[in-house]
Amino acid sequence: MADIASHAFVVRRGDHVVAAAGYRRWPGLVAHMYVLTKPNQRGRGLARAVASAPVADGLANHLLPQWRARPDPSRGVTRALGFRQLGIQLSIRIGA
């Protein structure tokens, strides 16, 4: 979350932040999403709830929201928010 340039959007339980989201502006008018949920709070719809705010903010600022969703739960959140998969990312470690 240290890399976000947008406002930070959060869900609190009492005095504790249990989910947070925001975005960093990338070249080409892209808003790269960052979404975190405390492990013991996952599976409750918090990621979807908190992520909807920076997605809407990015769109309002004429940016294209982008989300690199690798784990299946993250992919589920993206689908719930209306994202479509347009490609894949491959990382290779050369020389171990």
Tokens at 9, concatenated: 């959007």
Residue 53 pLDDT exceeds 70: yes
Count Cβ atoms within 10 A of the Cβ of residue 71 and give its class: 0-12 exposed, 13-18 middle, 19 or more buried.
exposed
The per-residue pLDDT for 13 is: 95
Q: What is the average pLDDT across 32-49? A: 95
The per-residue pLDDT for 70 is: 85
Model pTM score: 0.84
Task: Read off the DSSP letter of residue 74.
Answer: H
1: confidence class by pLDDT, cuts 50, 70, 90: confident
Mean per-residue pLDDT over the chain, rounded: 93
Residue 96 pLDDT exceeds 80: no
